[in-house]
Amino acid sequence: MYIASPISIRLNECTYLKGVGDVWVFNNGGNYGIGGYHGSFYVYNKLENINVKTNNHYGITGIGTVLSCDVRGYGGAWAGFYACGDIGSCNADSFLDPYGNGFSQNKNLDDCTATNNTIGFYSNNGSILTNCLSHDNQGCGFTMFYGTATYVNCIEYNNCLNPNNGSCYYGYCDTV
Look at residue 175 and tell me if it is in a domain. no
- Mind listing the pLDDT tens digit for each residue in 160-169? 999 788 888 7
Look at residue 12 and tell me if it is in a domain. yes
Counted domains in the chain: 1
The answer to whether 119 touches 139, Cβ cutoff 8 Å, is: yes
Look at residue 68 and tell me if it is in a domain. yes
Range of the domain at 163: 2-169
Look at residue 134 and tell me if it is in a domain. yes
- Mind listing the pLDDT tens digit for each residue in 102-141? 999 999 999 999 999 999 999 988 999 999 999 999 999 9
pLDDT at 14 over 50: yes
DSSP string, 149-168: -EEES-EEES--SSTTSHHH
- Cβ count near 21 (within 10 Å): 6
pTM, two decimals, is 0.90
| Nearest partner of 80 among 116, 128, 45, 44, judged by Cα | 116
Enumerate residues 6+ apart whose C-beta is below 8 A from 13.
none
171: amino acid identity, one letter: G
Look at residue 174 and tell me if it is in a domain. no
Look at residue 176 and tell me if it is in a domain. no
In angstroms, the CA 32 to CA 37 distance is: 12
pLDDT at 24 over 70: yes
